[in-house]
């Protein structure tokens, strides 16, 4: 019944999500993932939806996703609203190798808010070799100066991150983070009642930790993102002092930015 309810709402309805739903419903005892899988198979409830995105047939560079922090995908969700109403955006980042996430609420899409959010995600996840984002003005720069380098481009150049902009109107190119955005909406925004930005930040970190420590993925052999990270021996060393984003990022030559059309 839980699976059918999730499916009819258009939500994810796999074994892991069903288990989370049962935990949130305080059902006891909680069945294991394998038990849920056998039950769905016995009830013939394992069919999948058809995909929403129709590729255009264009070749797209496949970024490496073999080790943690090789490639991150980043996207903005919003505007969303808390009770009040309080408007906010969420910058969601995903490590495509192990599906480790970082979630950073933002009051707006202003340049400094985007920089603060990306930098905060890097402090927790580590700085990637490649960063893939949408062709969004909040990432790209200013419509007034379309050939200028926006703050995020300059930040990536400063730290040697290869920044990739996916083609306009092709969100499936950022498929890993887009799928996580649906998970974030269904399992967090639709579930947790919040009325302030401070509460939103606290609950976002709690959901981030829950995802990274308990959500298992078949592509990493049923491990959680944190277990996969530990096995890869890539645990990030945390600085004892908070790092501050430079207000004036210097220009660095011989770095790359890729814009896919």
pLDDT in tens, 98-131: 999 999 999 888 888 889 999 999 999 999 999 9
**pLDDT of 143 over the 80 cut:** no
pLDDT band at 21 (very low <50, low <70, confident <90, very high): confident
More confidently predicted of 91 and 86: 91
* Phi, psi for residue 237 in degrees, rounded to 5: -80, 120
Model pLDDT for residues 181-235, shown as the tens digit of each residue: 988 888 888 888 888 889 999 999 999 999 999 888 888 988 899 999 988 865 4
The dihedral region occupied by 84, where left means phi > 0, alpha psi between -120 and 50, and beta the remainder, is: left
Predicted pLDDT at 99: 92
Contact criterion met (CB below 8 Å) for 204 and 105: yes
Structure tokens belonging to residue 232: 């890869």
Task: Specify the DSSP element, H or E, that contains 41.
Answer: helix 33-42
State how far the Cα of 45 lies from the Cα of 192, in Å rounded to an integer: 28
**pLDDT of 258 over the 50 cut:** yes
Mean pLDDT is lowest, of 22-36, 50-64, 72-86, for: 50-64
pTM attached to this predicted model: 0.71
State how far the Cα of 135 lies from the Cα of 146, in Å rounded to an integer: 12
Model pLDDT for residues 155-166, shown as the tens digit of each residue: 888 888 999 988
Q: Where are the domains of the chain?
A: 2-42, 71-231
Residues 110-128 as b/e (b if ≥16 CB within 10 A, e otherwise) read: eeebbbebbbbbbebbbbb
* CATH 3.30.1330.60 assigned to 71-231: no
State how far the Cα of 159 lies from the Cα of 138, in Å rounded to an integer: 19
Predicted pLDDT at 127: 92
**pLDDT of 90 over the 90 cut:** yes
- Which residue matches tokens 């609950």? 203
Helices (H) and strands (E) in the chain, counts: 9, 6
Collect all residues with Cβ–Cβ distance below 8 Å to 249 and sequence separation of at least 6: 151, 154, 155, 157, 158
């Amino acid at each position: 019944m839980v699976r059918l309810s999730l499916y009819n709402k258009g939500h994810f309805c796999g074994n892991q999500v069903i288990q989370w739903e049962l935990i949130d419903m305080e059902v006891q005892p909680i069945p294991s993932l394998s038990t849920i899988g056998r039950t769905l198979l016995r009830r013939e409830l394992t069919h999948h939806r058809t995909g929403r995105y129709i590729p255009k047939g264009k070749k797209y560079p496949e970024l490496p996703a073999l080790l943690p922090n090789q490639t991150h995908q980043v996207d903005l969700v919003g505007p969303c609203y808390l009770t009040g109403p309080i408007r906010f955006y969420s910058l969601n980042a995903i490590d495509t190798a192990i599906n480790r996430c970082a979630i950073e609420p933002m009051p707006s899409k202003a340049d400094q808010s985007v920089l603060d959010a990306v930098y905060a995600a890097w402090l927790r996840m580590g700085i990637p070799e490649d960063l893939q984002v949408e062709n969004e003005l909040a990432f790209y720069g200013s419509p007034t100066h379309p050939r200028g380098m926006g703050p995020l481009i300059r930040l990536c150049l400063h730290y040697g991150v290869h920044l990739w902009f996916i083609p306009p109107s092709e969100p499936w190119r950022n498929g890993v983070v887009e799928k996580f955005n649906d998970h974030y909406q269904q399992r967090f925004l639709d579930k947790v009642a919040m009325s302030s930005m401070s509460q939103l930040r606290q609950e976002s970190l709690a959901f981030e930790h829950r995802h990274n420590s308990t959500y298992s993925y078949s592509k990493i052999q049923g491990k959680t993102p944190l277990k996969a990270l530990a096995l890869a021996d890539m645990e990030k060393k945390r600085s004892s002092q908070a790092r501050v984003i430079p207000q004036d990022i210097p220009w660095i030559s011989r770095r790359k930015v890729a814009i896919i059309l």
